[in-house]
Amino acid sequence: MRPQDILMPVPAGLCCEPGGFHIDPVRPVDRAVITHGHSDHARPGHGAVLATQETLDMMRLRYGDDFAKTTQAVRYGEEIQLGDVRIKFHPAGHVLGSAQIAVTCKDTCIVASGDYKDAADPTCTPFEVVPCDVFITEATFGLPVFRHGDAADEVKKLLASVALFPERAHLVGAYSLGKAQRVIALLREAGYDAPIYLHGAMEKITYYYETRGIALGELRPAKGVKKADLAGTITLAPPSATSDIWTRRFPDPVTAFASGWMRVRARARQRGIELPLVISDHADWDGLTATIAATGAGEVWVTHGQEDALVHWCKSRGLAARPLDLVGYGDEEEHETVAADEAEA
């Protein structure tokens, strides 16, 4: 069977006709199989939703109980027959509950990896290499210039700055699903045991991580704390909040931003970031290319991000490769808008 008869890009997303479902659809569909909880992948309004328990819970937290007509929680490694295909979820190492979806029809296996990273992350199950015929990879950081390095070293930089400026507050911009919890967990691994403060927009999801057994130490809402008492502390906030009036409640804040984009100094300068921290929940160039090679796939489909360089790299290695041209997927490392009711939290 030709791979394109199993999975095909359509305006609603990646469509599996023989299985009767879409993966991460951007428009409402009858049956959706969802890789992870980021809002561009996990949208409300579908009929049936199949996803990990964590992804379903995150959708419920964000959209309310009626985000789909029916839901089915799928465990890693569990195999499910849908129409003429079998699907299996494997850890993607991107955020808590994130999954790659292996779709097998007759003897052809396609792995839709969603967003993924092969780097260590104390807040989620490690990425698993899944041997397949066709590997669908993201390309958020699909250029050789992107090498993230060790996230623990970036957290050391943050702690050095806190030690150097005890009279200032440190505000760390971090995407509120995944990145914020990972930064907190890395701070704890580095031995930082003081309370960590949270912007209101990240409280719900962060406390949810704790209910799933991710230990994050003592957390406090930043709201209502006296300005002077925030000297020498660390607060996590959505990236958009670190450049707005919300920051006035902090004494002389040092603004940090945890993102793979912080490798590009011009980006940090543009955003007025004093302390760029190169911490990403996406694979870097080495991670992408090593993963592609490890899957043993003879064909690679490249989606959301910088497709061209990765397609070129695959072809130079003798692999069939093409960009997928899926639309509707954002880049959570760069942007996050805070809902109006949370803006002053």
Number of residues that bind Zn ion (CB under 5 A): 3
203 touching Zn ion, by CB under 5 A: no
38 touching Zn ion, by CB under 5 A: yes
Stretch that binds Zn ion, among 111-119, 128-136, 246-254, 262-270 (CB under 5 A): 111-119
333 touching Zn ion, by CB under 5 A: no
Of 24, 115, 284, 333, the residue at the interface with Zn ion (CB under 5 A) is 115
Distance CA 288, CA 119 (A): 11
> Of 3 and 13, which CB lies nearer to Zn ion in the complex structure?
13
Stretch that binds Zn ion, among 68-76, 129-137, 309-317, 321-329 (CB under 5 A): 321-329
Q: How many CA atoms lie within 13 A of 335 on its CB side?
A: 7
Site residues for Zn ion, 255-314, by CB under 5 A, read none
Stretch that binds Zn ion, among 78-86, 114-122, 151-159, 182-190 (CB under 5 A): 114-122
The sign of the torsion formed by the CA atoms of 171, 174, 180, 184 equals negative
> Of 115 and 203, which CB lies nearer to Zn ion in the complex structure?
115
**Distance of closest approach, residue 335 Cβ to Zn ion, in angstroms:** 12
**Distance of closest approach, residue 38 Cβ to Zn ion, in angstroms:** 4
> Of 38 and 43, which CB lies nearer to Zn ion in the complex structure?
38
179 touching Zn ion, by CB under 5 A: no
List contacts with Zn ion (CB under 5 A).
38, 115, 329
